[in-house]
Structure 1
């Protein structure tokens, strides 16, 4: 089974739903989930908030936080996960934000990534520095947030 399938299976076993907030991955996480047959029984939806201002308007990320630190920040990832969870009425929210490259953003080098998982038990953020080109950073970011989801659900199960 794939990591996406593992996550969907763990969520279904609990009767939980999932929502996804993506920035640098641009829909890759939700596409990976939708590739799994039966994903519709768990996945409520996804928001691709690529522009910084959309993180505030669509995902309820604090504007002052975005102004102070920019979109590439672990606290922003956490707020994105909580925000998409609330906005889409899901039990679990996943989020990705970071710099795919090739240029730095918000003073952060390419490969800087923050992924987050928000559950009824709280929010966990993991910060990474990933090697590779733009496509590799995006793919590894998607894999990282799915893996973190599986890890968190394994702990809370």
Structure 2
């Protein structure tokens, strides 16, 4: 998937802000499949502000890589506020050199949605060391590509808000 110029421009803005603040970011992604990390590392010199990223598409990977408790996944489901927050926390725990984490978990479609959790539903969480994490729920319109691109843009905006 090729990200729109507006998303790549937002990633550039995030990198400039992170570098100016001497902060580093780590991503924990599910439905975006690494696109946030990809947008950030698309920029030359991004290693100054990007620690790395986790693509934890399956529940097993969320547990193994990020320490998301199985009980939480069973109770709330992967697409939930609780899991997004746990992903953000786990990413920061796993990346000692990161200061900010952003997590994304959602249903990009075209399948997988339900009445309770429709296609386009995405949960985000952002966390900066020493601060309380915050989560946001968004509903995005369009097909899989549009949902994922909008999710990347929103995640970048959340990171910028923590700088």
After TM superposition, is the score higher than 0.5? Answer: yes
Q: What is the TM-score of this pair, normalised by structure 2? A: 0.89
RMSD: 1.4
Pairing of 1:87-106 with structure 2 (within 5 A): 87-89=94-96, 90-105=98-113
Q: In 2, distance between residues paired with 1:61 and 1:150?
A: 25
| 86, 92, 99: which one aligns with 1:79 | 86
**Residue in 2 that maps onto 1:140:** 150
Q: Distance in 1 between matches of 2:47 and 2:103?
A: 19
| Equivalent position SS for 2:135 | strand
* TM-score (norm. length: structure 1): 0.92
Aligned length: 153
CA contact (8 A) 1:3 1:150 kept: no
CA offsets 1:32-51 (integer angstroms, 9 cap, x no match)? 00111211111111110000
> Displacement, 1:56?
1.1
**Counterpart-to-counterpart distance in 2, 1:123 and 1:103:** 30
Contact 1:97 1:115 (C-alpha < 8 Å) held by counterparts: yes
- For structure 2, the 5+ residue unaligned runs are 1-7
CA distance in 1, matches of 2:134, 2:27: 14
Structure 1 residue 105: Cα displacement: 4.3
Cα distance in 2 between the residues matched to 1:119 and 1:4: 18
